[in-house]
Amino acid sequence: MSTSPFSLTPLTYKISLPPSSLSNIPLNLTLNLNKSLLTYDKRLNGILVSYKDMSFKNNLPYGKIINENPYINFTVSLTGLIFSPEVGSTLTCTINKISSGHVGVLIYGCFNGSCLKKELEGWEYEEEGWRKGERRVEEGEE
């Protein structure tokens, strides 16, 4: 049985804001954190897809200034939805590109992936798709 490549995970982030951001700290923390969305993060071994329940760590709604650095450092807690499939996982995807060198897919309607020609052993390329015996795959197919 396959497990989901998505998991809800409690996370802690340290975010530094310039003094100009202090007029609306929650908004600026959110804008800063949003830069991490849909990008691979080695610390998470996956991709932060979304998050919820952001709060100040230990309910301390203030930041720290370290040495002479003008940035104010905040620590926030949140629950993150992480996309981190394991090798051998079965993923739901739609074929969105076919060429003689690869098959491109859109995984869960969000992430691009591809299967290179060398990984399509036993398959033959035809103008409209790839074929293995009677089985054919074409653009738009799940």
- Among the listed ranges 18-22, 54-58, 95-99, which one has the minimum average pLDDT value? 54-58
Element (H, E) at 124: strand 124-126
Does position 102 have pLDDT exceeding 70, yes or no? yes
Q: Band the pLDDT of 2: cuts 50, 70, 90.
A: low
7 versus 59: the higher-pLDDT residue is 7
Tokens of 22: 């202090």
129 versus 42: the higher-pLDDT residue is 42
* Phi and psi, residue 15, nearest 5°: -125, 130
pTM for this model (two decimals): 0.79
